[in-house]
Amino acid sequence: MNNITRKIEAKKNIALVAHDHKKQELLEWSEENKEMLKRHNLFATGTTGKIISETTGLNITAFKSGPLGGDQQLGATIVNFDLDMLVFFWDPLESQPHDPDVKALLRIATLYNIPCAMNKSTADFLFHSNLMDESYNISLNDHIEYTTRHIDLK
């Protein structure tokens, strides 16, 4: 495995996502951390972005709603190195119609080694870290073995 380094700048690109039963919790967390969030570029899935933006006044670039492809759009943003952090308050007690998309988003976030917060406690730890307002180098596997593997088509 070969590693490559990706630099996350001090001004980060942060995604805010929440399932319906967690939107209020993410909204309250966003209000509590509004001053911190203002210093970064914010992205969100459609409904979550609209609710947070309208309530807090934060400038948020909204993608489509999660079930309409927003989770996949965020995943593509991660793959293109345009997203640095993911705050995703997901509901562990309720099945979602787009569960495969959610799993894919979390897989891509893990594969690309971006910091993720899945609940308020983790988000608090991440956002109150001394690394939050500094640049940071992420180590990534270049996956050269995977992309150059031989596939025998018999």
Query: What CA–CA distance (Å, rounded) separates 101 from 93?
Result: 17
Q: Position 72: which residue type?
A: Q
Query: Scanning the structure block, which residue is given the tokens 């940071």?
Result: 136
46 carries a ligand binding annotation: yes
Annotation marks residue 71 as catalytic: yes
49 carries a ligand binding annotation: no
66 carries a ligand binding annotation: yes
98 carries a ligand binding annotation: yes
Query: What CA–CA distance (Å, rounded) separates 53 from 44?
Result: 10
Task: Report CA torsion sign: 56, 60, 76, 82.
Answer: negative
69 carries a ligand binding annotation: no
Task: Report CA torsion sign: 2, 137, 61, 29.
Answer: positive
Catalytic residue among 20, 71, 99, 152: 71
55 carries a ligand binding annotation: no
57 carries a ligand binding annotation: no
Q: Position 91: which residue type?
A: D
Binding-site members for substrate are 19, 23, 45-48, 65-66, 98
Point out the residues that are catalytic: 71
